[in-house]
Structure 1
Amino acid sequence: MSGDSKRITVIPGDGIGPEVIEPALAVLDVLALGVRLDVLDQVNAETYLSTGSALSPADLDRIRTSEATLLGAVGDPRLGDTAYVRSVLTTLRSELDLYANYRPVRLWHDRLSPLRDDTRRAIDCVIVRENTEGLYSGVGGSTRTGSPQEIAIDVDLNTHHGVSRILDFAFSVARRSVCVVDKANAVRNGGQLWQRCWHEAVERHPQFDTSHLYVDAAAMKLVTDPTAFDVIVTNNSYGDILSDLTAALAGGLGVAASANLNPATRQGLFEPVHGSAPDIAGTGIANPFAAILSAALLIEHLGHAEEADAVRRAVAAAVEAGRVTPDLGGSLSTKEVGAVVLAELRQPNAGRTRGRRCHAGA
């Protein structure tokens, strides 16, 4: 890092991105953590449409030399393919080698869960997703495109180095157990590599309970009893799917935060799991909790665990009181929910009592 160690880059992005980032930045401000914000308003779809590139080398340098990055959302309905989104997210993850995607999931209130059995609602787990390999690595191609004979290939890329380090990361954030999820019975080569690396990792971390599930069985188990899990670790595509499923069990994407991390370099990109939601952009009803909780992960990443806990408790208090946006059954606007969280944070001793799980990859 540069000597400018307290500089945080911010990418508001597209759609509801700027709307949910605003209250998240207000949270950073009220906590008075001594950080300086470097807002990259130009990294968005408009720039991509006019120049063909949304993330310039200069932007990337500013991000690389900052302490961390907070992102709102990227995506625009005017762009029919995924090239723009990949040019931002995939570039950041690959250029900064943010190999660990960390998605904590907590049920903030029983009324938010679709599970019928109230004894199985206390969800508090983490999905750890390998973030730079797998089917999203971009390796592949197609031939005879557009014809009835078209052939398309996407390579599920796995390396011993990549699999081993994500497994070790999963153990580093676990409290009691780690479950590895794959499809080794059907995807044989990658599956065998994951299994060999898994057995090696288990030997390195004998203090934890460990288990293995195929991805279809894991999806079923998450729905029937998500409380069975502490940490799930899996590849890029399975992690993408399972983390969205788990988010739905805990109230939806509006409360789903994430971190993209490299613990060795201390680089981190923090973002809500949801997209740019163009259908509700500008209506003022977007849920800011996911962005605020992503900011809490960033705050913890900077070494302020007590303040990060205070943010989570403020969100929990807002949910408990029903002072939420329509997606969670309330009637407040994005800005009003942000104001509720700020009011909670301004209460005396707001940051004193430690909360539940929160670990952004030390």
Structure 2
Amino acid sequence: MKSLVTSLSTQQLILRFFDLEAHIQSDSRTCLDLFASMYRRFQAIPERSPVQPPIEFEVQTRPDAAWGAPRMVLNGCEWSLHDQRLIEDGYVYEILMNAVLAGVRSHFLIHAGVVSYDDQGILLAADSRHGKTTLTAELVRRGCAFLSDDVAALGRADRRVHPFPRSLRLRPGTLDLLGCSELAVGAPFWIGKAILDTEELRPYSLGEAVAISHIIILHDPAVTWEDMVGSSERELGVLVDRVDTGFLTAVRRIDGVTEMHTDIDRGYPLLRLRTARRAAVLAQVEALCQAQQIWVLDIIKRRESHPKFNRPARLETIPTSKAIVELLRRFQGGYSSALLHEELEGSSVHLFRELAALIGQAKCYRLSVGPLHEMADLVCGMVNA
């Protein structure tokens, strides 16, 4: 693959995400090329100026660099890379993308896959390991156009869903399931997943902006709706790069935290908090992390189960209000979103109304997950009905 890095001397990569640019620099060509392989379709167009000031991001990986230790700089704020795994595991990329997703204002961004067929936009929202990317890839293989396997970008101006064509990241087992394991040969890998462009699955499969016609929430049939909503006091998980006694004591003292446990997840500390005030508690945890230069690597808003895919797949209609609640739970940018705070006055009510207006008259469904071919058959039957 041709490198997208703009200059060997500066080692800079410039990407455009709707109304926001990201300017990325590093002393590591490997870091830049890996990021470029995932976001190769987001190259900035020189004649089109971004609406907002760009995000400035720099990663210095060598201990003998000017700082004397590996560092990351995001919009002028310096962070030490205390653990080399933060680079190797890809969390530096995730931190940049979290800043990008939180900064975009022109589009309402939701964590979901998107395909289209016959001018019908289809959103596929799901929790981790529920088959969203696999189903997206299978639908593309069957003839749907690909818009994204990760971010549904709802245009606030035209009320259409736009492509967010990050490269697919597929496990070897997923490629086997799709019947295209040969695509892993020679592909770059990131955290155990092959990085593939959608057109490697099917040529000319990249789609264009389209109206939103169907919203599908992938659901584990072993979990009831009541389990999903939970009690008034719910669990909040915060994955961080490190902890110490003082930090843990400060978290325990946050008003609204009734219980806290620490686990290890993916090799990093995971704070499991019980609280009825998740938004307020999370904001305080993030403030503590920023003050102590502790990285927030992931936020888990409830304990997730992984379905077994051994039950029959079933598609049923659900009220639009339930679909909106599920989509809002996957709102990208979260509590740091510029769209939320600077466009919608920080109001969750305004956020709900904005999303309701964007999805319009889309039909909403819950898909109880099962074997891949059954799920794909149900979706194809729905759009052809």
Higher relative contact order (CA 8 A, sep 6+): 1
- TM-score scaled by length of structure 2: 0.28
Task: Judging by fraction of residues, say which structure has more strand.
Answer: 2
TM-score by length of 1: 0.29
